[in-house]
Amino acid sequence: MKNIFIGCSALLATMAGFAQNPVIRDQFTADPTARVFDGKIYLYPSHDIPSPVDNLKEWFCMEDYHVFSSENLTDWIDHGVIVSQTSVPWVDSQSYSMWAPDCVKKGDNYYFYFPAAPKGERGFRVGVAVSENPSGPFWPMPRFIEGISGIDPCVLVDDDGSSYIYWSGMGLKGAKLKDNMMELDGEPVAIDNLPDGFKEGPFAFKRNGKYYFTFPWVKDKTETLAYAMSDAPLGPYEFKGLIMDESPTGCWTNHHSIVEYNNQWYLFYHHNDYSPSFDKNRSVRIDSLSFNPDGTIRKVTPTLRGVGVTDARSRIQIDRYSDISSKNAAIGYIDSNNYFAGWKTIMKRQGAWVKYNNVDFGTSPVASVTARVCAPSGGRLCVGIYNQRNKAVLAEINIPASTSWQNVTVPVTGNSVEGVHDLWVELKSGRNVEIDWAGFDALPWLEGAMKTGKYRNLFVEMGYRPDMVSAKLDSMYNALFHGPDRVYFEVGDSMAYISDLKNNDVRTEGMSYGMMIAAQLDKKDVFDRLWRWAKMYMQHNDGSDRDGYFAWSCKTDGTPNAHGSASDGELYFVTSLIFASNRWGNASGIDYLAEARNIIDASMLKTGKRHASPFINIETRLITFTPDKWGSRFTDPSYHIPVFYEIWAKWLNDGRSEFWQECADRSRAYLHSCVHPETGLTPDYSNYDGSLLNRGHIIGDAFRFDSWRVPLNIAIDYAWSCSDGKWQRDYADRVQKFFYEKGIDDYVDQYNVDGSDVEQILGAGGYTGLRHSTGLVATMAAVSIAANDGKSKEFVKRLWHSRHEPYEDGYFDAYYDGLLRLFSFMLLSGNYQIIE
C-alpha cells in the first residue's frame, strides 16, 4: 500500500484572542465538528473557498480540510491542512467537493472521516484518514468505505467501544462499524420517524444513557437544527423538536455539532457572517447549549457575542455585543470590499449604548483605556462596567473630529476594578460615532512587525521623553563599544573583535552579537571590521569537515582555543549578514548575502561528516547545541529565535524557504515543551522534546547563564512575528510573576526550573556566587513587550536604571551583561528591527 502523508505544512497560526462569533476570522469555515481530545477542543470544519472552476461559481467549493484547536474557546490555533483533494488516491482531484467531516479517537489512533467525489463515479463516497495525533499528520486510506454513498459522515464511539457511523444520502442512515473503523459491520439502516422535508448533516452523541440524533432540517424555507432521542444508537428515534430556528438573514444551510467541554455544553454551527450576499461561504460560530431536567434540549438563540471570557487587555470587539440599545445604534462592516476586516459599532445619537459581557480585568487595576474610533464631528464616549443593574464609570473619552480612524487613549479615572465584569460603552455627545474596538492598558500585538512594519517603544509609552530614550541608547552603546569598560577593540585599519573580558577570549557569540548591533544601529564600519576578523581568524577554510563554520573561541590574537563551533554563533552570523545586505547592499566590498548563503550551504552539506553536522538538525528541524556528533544530540533553549528562520525564508533566497518556515514552526512548538508550566523557567540545555538531559552535570538542567536569553528571544519573536502571540503573552506573565514573587530587586540568576534553589552554583570569570545580574534584569524587562500584567512596567524601570559597572563583590561582566542590556534596551525602545 502506498502511504500518502499529509503534514501540517502551514503555520501554527494563532487566531487572535476573540471570544466572539464567528470564531475563525481569517478564512471561511463551515460544517463544524468539535471534539475534545486530551483536555483540548479540536475543530474539524470544511473549508469554503471562492471557486476556481466555472461550474461551482454559485455553489459550494471546498478543496481541503484544516484543523484548529483551543484550550479556552477563545484563542484558536490553525494546525494547517490535514487532508486535501490532491492527496487522497480515490478522490477526483478537481472535484472541489470535500464537504462536512468528522474525527473520532479509538484506541491510540484518530480517524478522520470525510465525503468527496470519487474518480470515475457520480455522487459522493466517504473516506478515512488516520493519525496518531488529533492535529495530524493524517494518512488517507487508498479506498473509500464500501457501502456508503452520501455525505456528512458522523461517528459515535459508544461506552462499550462499539462504533457507529451516520450519513445523509437518500435520507439519513446509520450503520455499525467494524473494530478497524474502516468497514461497515452490517447493512445500513434508515433513521426513521423524523418529520418530512429535506434533512442532512447528522450529528449523534450520547448523554446520561440517551442517544441524541441531531440534524439540519428544512422546515419552511431554510435549514433549522432539529433532534430526536432514542435508547439505542440506531434507533428507533423519537422526534423532539428544534435546537435552532431558521437563520434570520436567510443563510440556507446550517450544519453543526454538540460537545461538552469543561462541564458546559456548546453548539457549534455556521452562518454566512463574512459573506452576506453569498451563503455558500460560511463561518463557524459557537453558543452555549443546555438541557431541560427531562433531557430535552433547550432551544439556542444565535448570538454575536458567542462564548468565553474576554481579556480586558485586548481589543474588545464591542460590535459582537451581548446587548444593544434599541434606538440609534447599529452594526456595519468596516470595509465593504473586505468583510474579513470585521465590523464596527455605529452610534448615531447621544444615548446609544452597547453592553459586552464577561470581560476579565484580572487582579491588577487597569490604568488606561483605548478606543479605535472615527467621528467626523467629534464626540464623547463613556466607558464603564455594568453589574447587577449598577453602572460604574471608568473613563470618558473625548474624540477629536476626524474622518479617519484614530486610536484615542485616556487614563482610567474611576474606581479600580478587578475580576470579571460586563463592559458598557455609551455615546454622551456627538453623532455618527463609529467604534472598531476598545481595550485597556498597553494592548497586545495581533500581528508582528513583519506584517505591520511597526515597533513599540515601551519607554515612551511609560512617559519617558523620546530624546531621553535616544540619549540613553547612545550612552549604552558607547559604554559597550568605546568607553573605558568596552568590549569592542579595533585591530589595524580594517578589523575589530569583541572580547569576553572575564575569559580573555573572542567568541562567535559576541562577534555575531556585535555584528547584529552594528547592523541595527547602521554602523557599517563596525560591522565590516568584526566580519573581517571573524572570517580571517574564526571561519574554517582548510578543506576539512568544518569548512564554512567558525571556531567558537579564539585568543585575542586570533589563535583558536577550540576548533568546534557553537550553533548560536552561526545563527546570528547568518541573520546579521542578511540584514547587512538589506541595509547596505552587496557592492561595497563585502557580498553579505553571499557570505550568509555560504554558511548555510556549507552547513547543509555536512550530513554524515565525521567532525561536523548541520547546525540545524535535519530530522527535528531544531537548532543543535553544537554542530557535531556530540552536540547535535540535544539543543539549547536560548538558541531558539523562530522569527530568524522566517527572515531567512524571506531574504536568503537559497531555495529552502519552506524548510526554514518549518524550522520556525518547530522551534515555537519546542519552546512550549521546554518551558516549565508554572515558573516559566527553562534549562540551559534540553533534549529535542523539551525534556531535561538528566546527565548529572552542573551545566544543563538548571536555569543559569544561557537561559537568561530565553525571555529576550521570545520577546523578539513576539514583536517581529507574533505567530504564537497568545502563548508568548502567557509565558511573559508567567515568568515575570515568578521573579516578581522572588522580589523584583532581590531575585538571583540561577534556579532549578521548578523554581527551587540550586544545590551547586555555577561560577564565571573566577567568581562563584548568586547575584541579581544585570543581564537577567535586562531580559526580564525585554519580555515586558509581550506581557499583559501591569507589573511588567516595574521590570522596564529596572532596566532603565541599570548600570554598566562592577557588582559589590567586584565581579563585572561587561561582555555578557552588557550585550544583553543593550539588546534589551534596543528592543524595548523600538530600535531592534527587521531590516528590509
Closest CA to 132 of 155, 163, 162, 107: 107
- Which residue matches cell numbers 551583561? 817
Q: Give the DSSP per-residue string, 472-523.
A: HHHHHHHHHHTSTT--EEEETTTEEEEEETTTTEEEHHHHHHHHHHHHHTT-
CB 804 within 8 A of CB 814: yes
- Residue 582 has phi, psi (to 5 degrees) of -65, -35
Closest CA to 319 of 339, 301, 337, 299: 339
Spell out the residues 6+ positions from residue 463 whose beta carbon is closer than 8 angstroms to its own: none
CB 37 within 8 A of CB 25: no
Measured between alpha carbons, how far is 144 from 125 in angstroms, rounded to an integer? 6
Measured between alpha carbons, how far is 497 from 494 in angstroms, rounded to an integer? 11
Closest CA to 736 of 441, 449, 315, 364: 364
List the catalytic residue out of 509, 662, 717, 789: 509
| Identity of the amino acid at 554 | C
The contacts found for 286-294 with CB under 8 angstroms, 24 or more apart, are 286/21, 286/23, 286/73, 287/21, 288/264, 289/243, 289/258, 289/265, 290/265, 291/207, 291/265
Number of neighbours of residue 674 by Cβ within 10 angstroms: 24
Measured between alpha carbons, how far is 663 from 73 in angstroms, rounded to an integer? 28
Q: What's the helix, strand, coil split of the chain in %, to 5?
A: 25, 30, 50
Q: Give the DSSP per-residue string, 225-251.
A: EEEEEESSTT---EEEEEEE---TT--
Helix, strand or coil, per DSSP, at residue 12: coil
Measured between alpha carbons, how far is 710 from 636 in angstroms, rounded to an integer? 10
509 is catalytic: yes
Measured between alpha carbons, how far is 30 from 299 in angstroms, rounded to an integer? 21
* DSSP-derived pairing of the beta strands 102-106 and 109-116: antiparallel
Helix (H) or strand (E) holding 402: strand 402-411
CA dihedral 632, 555, 517, 708 (to 10 degrees): 50
Spell out the residues 6+ positions from residue 390 whose beta carbon is closer than 8 angstroms to its own: none
List the catalytic residue out of 223, 595, 662, 706: 706
| Distance in angstroms between the alpha carbons of the first and the last residue of the chain | 48
474 is catalytic: no
DSSP 8-state secondary structure symbol assigned to residue 144: P
Helix, strand or coil, per DSSP, at residue 785: helix
Note the Cα 7 to chain centre separation in Å. 18
Number of neighbours of residue 464 by Cβ within 10 angstroms: 17
Closest CA to 714 of 639, 822, 790: 639
Q: Supply 789's cell numbers.
A: 500584567
CB 227 within 8 A of CB 198: no
Exposure pattern of 175-189 as b/e (b: 16+ CB <10 Å)? bbbeeebbeeeeebe
* DSSP-derived pairing of the beta strands 40-46 and 64-70: antiparallel
Measured between alpha carbons, how far is 532 from 612 in angstroms, rounded to an integer? 23
Q: Give catalytic residue positions.
A: 509, 706
